[in-house]
Structure 1
Amino acid sequence: MYRVAALALTTALTLTACGGGGGDDNPLTGDGGGGESIVVGSANFPENQLLAEIYAQALEDKGLKVTRKFDIGAREVYYDQVVKGGIGVFPEYNGALLSVAVDKDSTATSTEEINAELREKLPKSVEILDSAAAEDKDSVSVTAETAAEYDLKTLADLKPVAGDMTLGAGSEFKTRVQGGVGLKKVYGVEFGKFQPLDAGAQTTLVKLLKDDKVQAANLYTTDPAIVADKLVVLEDPKNLFSSQNVTPLVHRDAVNDKAKQALNAVSAELTTEDLLEMMKKLVNDKEDADTVAEDWLTAAGLLS
């Protein structure tokens, strides 16, 4: 989430590879449909890559062979690959999975409601496993100066002033229900300008926000910059942004009971505080993601 050039956990994979001939360099190919190796995928931002690395190491610790296919792209790109079996395991965020990929008209907001709908509505080839307590939600955030100038505390407070503001966000945010569409429908908020960036450009978004090049930004709530730069996350009293628990999405034929147990064990231990602490190490301290993942798994008692 925090750099355009997302932290590399494996050999860098880019979307341009998707048009290739299906070799090992293509992040959307691999034996995820029940072969010897479980393909673990990730989206194109560092937190998701970190979660994928945690999943991969947890599976490997149980003697399972893993192929890493990280940095694939946005949900609009990777979701179909999980459904088709090109990817076997993917760290998802349950609320966004439901509203973006499964049912754009869903009004579910709680973890329980969201997971019940996912279990009912997901294609038969895939399923969700246990959700973690860890959550990373979308937000609309502003600087402390902007919040004070316009008396901004909630998303609703943006309505009379957003027309004079530029919103910075990943390009897909503009057309998502939990994004620009929902801001207008739920809160009557419509920004004067929209500055699209890559989904992994959180560091760039924070800089644009601090430099007043954008006046509001779609930041993820585990971004360490929110605390470090004293940014203000606007409250969401109408729950536009639903629960976003970290949840393994798996292709049924790709995982056996041993794999499911390993992934559920990760979910049982992972908290939002853990995620924020790991992201500080990853982003601020520049630690390698595989080391951060291994240290957390060890501390959680999940490595033998």
Structure 2
Amino acid sequence: MVTTLWARALVSKGVKVGIRTIDDTAGQVAALKAGQVDIVQAYNSGLLNYLDDNANAVRQSDVDAAIAAKLPAGLTVLQSTPARDDVQLVVSAATAAKYKLHSITDLAGHLSELTLLLTDDKSAKAFTNGLSNYYGLTFPTTKTTDFAGPKMIAAIKAGPSVGLMVASQYQIDDNRFVVLTDPQHLFLTENFIPLIGGKKITPAMRATLNAVSAKLTVAALRGLRKKVANGEGTFTEVADAWLASVGLR
């Protein structure tokens, strides 16, 4: 969705844009260096960790500044979005109200009453280790389900459970889930950031991309994803309508 927004904004300015998929950061950087692509959609903390696995920046502005300082010659980044796609711990509104949960730290007094929902893969161990190391939390009861999928969503709704979702998921709003704040920064921020290479991206194109990024909030992205999921339009149609609604098309 984010890639389509950036692309359609450029198209509206008369730029010819094609889209291809390169999932991993190493592949994206290699394609930029080789001149095979001109812009990639990166996640800021993921990009920083690729550039410097000892980096310790956690806030959006600090992460973006650290990226700019570490980028190889010929590559640069533009403004990152307020919208992000980082992992979050969520509970149902009923569970939050019953146990007075606002932050991950609030879970400490209710571990025996709550079920921690985990995925059946190696990331589950890293996550539980993180909860222990960052917050001193060890849940006596866990349940294996899918990551941020329909089974986890159903389990969060069904009872006193704590689950993982991604910030841009519209299901958080649809189900009135409560996102627990993360004061110790267990989960890294993953704001969308354009990573560019070569000389094809003109100052005018940069200004267009930055204007889109500045207006793209978490709430807006959730709404756009929901429209596509509900069949209210293709990615292109939904992107064009939103860009027009915010004066960028």
Identify which of 21, 24, 27 aligns with 1:81.
27
Which one is further off, 146-155 or 130-139? 146-155
Identify which of 157, 160, 173 aligns with 1:210.
157
The change in CA–CA distance for 1:183 and 1:291 in structure 2 (over 3 A counts) is: same
Aligned equivalents of 1:242, 1:235: Cα separation in 2:
12
Q: CA deviation at 1:281?
A: 2.1
Q: TM-score, normalised by structure 2?
A: 0.78
Higher relative contact order (CA 8 A, sep 6+): 2
Q: Is the 8 A contact 2:116 2:161 kept in 1?
A: yes
Query: In the alignment, which residue of structure 1 is the partner of 2:10?
Result: 59
Aligned equivalents of 2:52, 2:152: Cα separation in 1:
29
Aligned equivalents of 2:70, 2:44: Cα separation in 1:
13
Q: TM-score, normalised by structure 1?
A: 0.66
Identify which of 287, 291, 296 aligns with 2:242.
296
Supply the AA of the counterpart residue of 2:44: N
Identify which of 143, 146, 161 aligns with 2:92.
143
Supply the AA of the counterpart residue of 1:185: N
Q: CA deviation at 1:117?
A: 0.7
Deviation track 1:255-303 (CA, whole Å, cap 9, x = no partner) reads: 4225433322322332333223323323356432211101111223323
Listed as ranges, the gaps of 5+ residues in structure 2 are none
Q: CA deviation at 1:119?
A: 0.9
Aligned equivalents of 1:169, 1:57: Cα separation in 2:
36
User: Does 1:256 find its partner at 2:201?
Assistant: yes
Supply the AA of the counterpart residue of 1:234: L
Deviation track 1:3-49 (CA, whole Å, cap 9, x = no partner) reads: xxxxxxxxxxxxxxxxxxxxxxxxxxxxxxxxxxxxxxxxxxxxxxx
Count of equivalent residues: 242
Q: Is the 8 A contact 1:163 1:190 kept in 2?
A: no
Q: How does 1:32-71 map to 2 (within 5 A)?
A: 50-70=1-21
Aligned equivalents of 2:218, 2:65: Cα separation in 1:
22
The change in CA–CA distance for 1:287 and 1:164 in structure 2 (over 3 A counts) is: same
Q: CA deviation at 1:138?
A: 2.4
What's the RMSD between the two structures over aligned residues?
3.3
Q: How does 1:99-118 map to 2 (within 5 A)?
A: 99=49, 101-118=50-67
Listed as ranges, the gaps of 5+ residues in structure 1 are 1-49
Q: CA deviation at 1:129?
A: 0.9
Aligned equivalents of 1:291, 1:181: Cα separation in 2:
43
Q: CA deviation at 1:170?
A: 9.1
The change in CA–CA distance for 1:155 and 1:255 in structure 2 (over 3 A counts) is: farther
Identity %: 29
Q: How does 1:206-285 map to 2 (within 5 A)?
A: 206-211=153-158, 215-250=161-196, 252-253=197-198, 255-257=200-202, 258-284=204-230
